[in-house]
């Protein structure tokens, strides 16, 4: 269990990271760089920041969950993904007259 003061500190740090990502995203749309390599590098860095933020948020949300709860959530997400894939795929097959 995480002490309350540590949990508050973690929430504040996570919010700071969210703010920094939002600021970087806003700045990236406001600048136009003539160097395509620089544009690509900035875009990749912003994407990395977003992925790290997503990971940090997931870790924070999973912190209080038991290993069983985390596994159940993972399995439900997997089932939901398969269901969505099957629904989409069956629609495509139906539209194409059943020809694969």
- Distance, in Å, from the CA atom of 89 to the CA atom of 34, rounded to the nearest integer, reads 42
* Same domain membership, residue 84 and residue 54: no
Give the domain extent around 21.
1-64
* Same domain membership, residue 46 and residue 3: yes
Check residue 89 and give its pLDDT. 64
- Domains in the chain, number: 2
* Same domain membership, residue 18 and residue 56: yes
* Same domain membership, residue 72 and residue 56: no
Task: Give per-residue burial for 46-82: e unless 16+ CB within 10 Å, then b.
Answer: eeeeeeebeeeeeeeeeeeeeeeeeeeeeeeeeeeee
Q: What is the pLDDT of residues 16-41, one digit of tens each?
A: 999 999 998 888 776 666 778 888 88
Where residue 91 falls among pLDDT bands split at 50, 70, 90?
A: low
Prediction pTM value: 0.52
Check residue 8 and give its pLDDT. 83
Check residue 35 and give its pLDDT. 76
* Same domain membership, residue 51 and residue 20: yes
Check residue 59 and give its pLDDT. 82
């Amino acid at each position: 269990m995480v002490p309350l003061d540590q949990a508050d500190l973690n929430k504040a740090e996570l919010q700071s990271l969210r703010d920094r990502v939002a600021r970087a995203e806003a700045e990236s749309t406001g600048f136009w760089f003539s160097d395509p390599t620089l544009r690509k590098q900035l875009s990749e860095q912003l994407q990395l920041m977003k992925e790290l933020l997503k990971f940090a948020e997931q870790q924070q949300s999973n912190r209080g969950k038991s290993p069983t709860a985390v596994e159940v959530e993972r399995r439900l997400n997997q089932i939901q993904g398969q269901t969505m894939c099957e629904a989409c795929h069956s629609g495509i097959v139906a539209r194409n007259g059943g020809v694969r």
